[in-house]
Chain A
Amino acid sequence: MKKLLPLLALCVALLSSFALRPTAAGYKVGDKAADFHLKNVDGQLVSLASNPAAKGYIVVFTCNTCPFAKGYESRIIALHQQYAPQGYPVIAINPNDAASAPGDSYAAMQALAKAHKYPFPYLQDETQQVARTYGATRTPHLYVLKREGTGFVVSYIGAIDDNSEDAKLVKTKYLENAMTDIIAGRPATTSATQAIGCGIKWKKA
């Protein structure tokens, strides 16, 4: 028993360190992406399986309220216009807890999607389980999924480009570069990039 104690202590320490880092987990490039069933602003449930013609998806965790998400909104719409015809439509997911961010309520999402004529689904991740599974931490946070066999594989994670303030000053379009590779059937040369964003508003435990 005495010999077991340090081992036990180690286990407890390990467990608690995991508990303290709920967002450290999540997908890495190459992981298989789980499907989800989330409510779109039109009331319909949307999943990755909903669109059998899709070769993949550009999944964007975004929201109504974050200035960075707002700054990228028109660029996200442009991405959909560019890549949906090539088989990679955008799916936008709002992971914010509406109780902490009232501007991200389902009704507010419906209003924004309508006002800005979103050409893609805008889903509410009400339990925040999808954001946790994917490992999203901020808005906007992008994941490119590519259909492989019966499922989808994470092929890119990160930023859209290198200038959130001004689309005209962008020098490197990280996502476009990755999409060029992915569509050509190659792994993305740069498959993970860093960006600044608003922390996801998690539900109070």
Chain B
Amino acid sequence: MSLLKTFGLSAGLLLAAHAGQAQRVAVLKLPELQQRLARPTDTTYVVNFWATWCGPCVQEMPGFEKVRAATTKQKVKFLLVSLDYASQLDKKVRPFIQKRGLQSEVVLLDETDPNTWLTKIDARWSGSIPFTLIVNNKTRRRATFEQPLTAPELTAALQKFLVP
């Protein structure tokens, strides 16, 4: 009986550990995010600012996942930056990632005052989401979209970064 209990407990722990692994979400402050986006790499970053409460963001996300899956062999990295409140990480963000089976890396930007950080991400961003930034620091190319993107639209925008 106690053996069975131990077994059940460790199996449970293992499962929990695995689930935790699948939904690891780094909580970043602005300087940490800026560092990530400023790396001198030839990888093209697709950075999508979203939130679980944002309908159009949630709607466009499957398209982003599709384009990510189609470009795994290329030097492209998808980063989904959640603007949910940090207090909602366990209540909203993690369950959302698990339910949707998101494969892209998700981080949460833990900043309260957009007035201090919004234009540091991009001067053209007026503050509505979804907002998508495609950036390649090697080629110094940059494109921003303050609107939802469909998979074909994102693919077309991304292709411009991938042709030599």
Contact = CB atoms under 8 A, between A and B. Distances in A.
A30 interface: no
A200 B147 CA distance: 10
A138 B129 CA distance: 8
What interface size band does chain A fall in?
20 to 34
Interface stretch (B17-25, B65-73, B114-122, B134-142): B114-122
Interface string B77-111: 00000010101000000000000000000000000
B114 A159 contact: yes
Contacts of A174: 115
A196 B129 contact: yes
A171 B125 CA distance: 23
Contact of B114 (A24, A171, A195, A198): A195
Contact of A67 (B53, B126, B130): B53
Nearest to B87: A165
Interface string A131-155: 0000001100100000000000000
Interface string A180-205: 00000000000001111111110000
A172 interface: yes
A197 B112 contact: no
Contacts of B113: 162-163, 171-172
B100 to A, nearest CB: 19
A199 B146 contact: yes
A34 B148 CA distance: 29
Contacts of A89: none
Interface in A94-151: 101, 137-138, 141
Given A67-B53, A174-B115, A194-B125, 6 more contacts: A162-B112, A165-B112, A172-B115, A196-B83, A196-B114, A196-B127
Identify the 3 closest CB pairs spanning chains A and B, nearest first: A199-B128, A162-B113, A138-B128
Interface of B: 53-56, 83, 85, 87, 112-116, 118-119, 124-130, 146-148
